[in-house]
Structure 1
Amino acid sequence: MDRQSAVAQLRGAVVRYVRDFAAHERRWCVGLSGGPDSLALAAVAATVMPTTALIVDHRLQPGSDAVASTAREQAIAVGCVGAEVLHVDVGTAGGPEAAARSARYRALGDARAGAQVLLAHTLDDQAETVLLGLGRGSGARSIAGMRPYDPPWCRPLLGVRRDLTRRACIELGLTPWQDPHNADPRFTRVRLRTEVLPLLEQVLGGGVAEALARTATALREDNDTLDAMASDALAELGADGVLDVLPIAAVSPLPAAVRRRVVRGWLLAGGAVGLNEVQIRAVDDLIIAWRGQGGVAVPSERPHERLFAGRSNELLTLYREPV
């Protein structure tokens, strides 16, 4: 095989990933949609380690069962040791993209049987994620993008451009499924992919996707350091941050970036979920900009209650109200 072939380059990326993150693994799964990215990944992964393909049928389009069946056949043909179709029901929470993503991850998590799951996100997907975070003002955690290794999720192609997976499919004689949703301008990511990123590439002279991916890596490294500092601070306050109250005097002197991470960790330990930057900063204002304001509502892991962070004298407290 030509060393410069697309297949060889993809296999090299997967082998390096095993060396850096998965040397202890003896089997893994791959999330397979039937599209070019996941199909190329399945074909290459199967040459590196025993691989089971997990195909999620979202049942959102006519003929989705046939697409899933074809993907299953292709997975076996490229050398996967097994292939399973997972039928899911997609809800509506958070919009169609978020709801489909939640259903997909839940199904993959249930079916992986203890194995790590390879996901075919590429450098282009990472660049789109960074742009989404920037546009929504979601804070450094969002702009830091997707992690290459976030057990059980593994992303060995984050350093690979999307075009390489297409070329790999051609070399392997594979016909991937072309999801019509990937060309539908109703979806934010599609417009980023087809309008915003090409314009940025044109205006800035190219290399924008790679630059955005580098930004994600740099921010992720910074975030990890700050998260570790916040974790240490929480541990000093109580048992791994599981506290009924947060003493104002103990957290107010902390650097702002560390303090907000302490607040985030405390809220999560108390039952909050899905926190965004606006909510975290509003709770932080109870510490540094206290003017007698009331409690801040944050999303709760319990569906039938509302969770609030409030200030009582020199303490932050969590309290709940029924919905």
Structure 2
Amino acid sequence: MVRASSRRDPDAVLAVRRAVRRFLDEPECARRLRQGELYVAVSGGADSLALADAAAHAGRRRNVRVRAIVVDHGLQPGSAEVAERAAETARGLGVDEARVVPVTVSGPGGQEAAARRARYAALRAQLPEPNRLVLLGHTRDDQAETVLLGLGRGSGARSLAGMRPLDPPWGRPLLELSRSVTAQACTGLGVRPWSDPHNSDRRFTRVRLREEVLPLLEDVLSGGVAAALARTAAQLREDTDALDVLAEELAERAHDGSALDVEVLEPAPPALRRRVLRGWLLAEGVPELTDAHLRAVDELIGRWRGQGGVWLPGDFEARRSRAKLMLNASRPTTRGD
């Protein structure tokens, strides 16, 4: 992450700065800057260093203090030194403050998932108030990988919609830029990014997508795949948001205390019904919902034959009784009313 002497590429630097400026001009982002602070997650890689420079540049123009947060996952020998160099480089790029936050990576789901949980928890813990904004360096390539992961796992439209540009407190201003642009921007800034060995370790699914699957798709489909996947994600987000609004209106009419009115839900399209059911079940504390769970509960509305209740994670039971859908913390019954 030391200063490099390579040929400058000011166009890439300007592209990243322009993307961050436009993102921060959005009303919700501007509202979150009113306290005069902006946070940026920095790993030392090209994406985050280019982002740190652009954030610092925008901060000076807006009279906003920019604070870089470097999370040290402690997964590799020398990680503390790598984190300190990343913080030092961020300071050299103009951020007002850079701090290193060490974390312990543990828990279910594999190392990738555990590291992600620890990182996001550490970033959130650094915020003095929840209404602040943390910029993340995800690019169009990251978005394409996320969409492919969702497609391969059959996770539904929400996963295929990818990462949101603004998902408070997280902000992702670089989703329309490729990873090559951030690398060129670092050349233009004269810094040499750190290359995380985990990013080339093919034990991790995302690495194999990046190095094997996406290049093959680009070759077979004659290029433009990452951009096409990102466009698809944006279109699905718009559709999903529209369906969510309709589902909220349906839920308001269907709620009857802690139960749902089946007569209100039954005429609605299944996609809207399942959105209402998902919100209801999560609000009631049902954990780890899957598509299969939602479809089984929806059959109590759309394919009612007097069947018994549906068992759900957490020892909950969804059952239908007298045109009401109810949720009990008990074992399933053998037959509905």
**TM-score, length basis structure 1:** 0.91
Give the superposition deviation at 1:139: 0.7
Deviation above 4 Å: which 4+ runs of structure 1? Answer: none
If asked which structure has higher relative contact order (CA below 8 Å, sep 6+), I would say 2
1:276–1:86 distance in 2 versus 1, CA, 3 Å: farther
Q: Residue 56 of structure 1 is aligned with which of 71, 75, 91? A: 71
Q: Residue 22 of structure 1 is aligned with which of 11, 18, 29? A: 29
- Paired with 1:43 and 1:274, the residues of 2 have a C-alpha distance of 39
Amino acid at match of 1:76: R
Amino acid at match of 1:318: L
Amino acid at match of 2:45: G
Aligned length: 312
Is there any run of 5+ residues in structure 1 with no aligned partner, and where?
A: 299-304
1:22–1:295 distance in 2 versus 1, CA, 3 Å: same
1:307–1:61 distance in 2 versus 1, CA, 3 Å: farther
Q: Residue 266 of structure 2 is aligned with which of 238, 248, 252? A: 252
1:319–1:96 distance in 2 versus 1, CA, 3 Å: farther
Q: Which residue of 2 aligns with 1:41?
A: 51
1:224–1:87 distance in 2 versus 1, CA, 3 Å: same
Give the superposition deviation at 1:140: 0.6
Give the superposition deviation at 1:277: 2.5
2:315 match: secondary structure: strand
Is there any run of 5+ residues in structure 2 with no aligned partner, and where?
A: 1-7, 60-64, 332-337
Question: Percent identity of the aligned residues?
Answer: 53
- Give deviations 1:208-261, integer Å, cap 9, x for gaps: 11110010011100111100011111112338xxx5222222212111111111
Q: Which residue of 2 aligns with 1:286?
A: 300
Contact 2:296–2:310 (CA under 8 A) maintained in structure 1: no
Give the superposition deviation at 1:274: 4.6
1:181–1:310 distance in 2 versus 1, CA, 3 Å: farther
Contact 1:53–1:82 (CA under 8 A) maintained in structure 2: yes
CA RMSD of aligned residues (A): 1.9
Contact 1:295–1:311 (CA under 8 A) maintained in structure 2: no
Q: Which residue of 2 aligns with 1:320?
A: 329
1:94–1:130 distance in 2 versus 1, CA, 3 Å: same
Work out whether 1:205 is the aligned partner of 2:213: no
**TM-score, length basis structure 2:** 0.87
1:3–1:97 distance in 2 versus 1, CA, 3 Å: closer
Amino acid at match of 2:204: F
Contact 1:29–1:51 (CA under 8 A) maintained in structure 2: yes
- Give deviations 1:131-187, integer Å, cap 9, x for gaps: 111111111111000100111100000000001111111111112111111101111
1:177–1:116 distance in 2 versus 1, CA, 3 Å: same
Contact 2:69–2:100 (CA under 8 A) maintained in structure 1: yes
2:91 match: secondary structure: helix
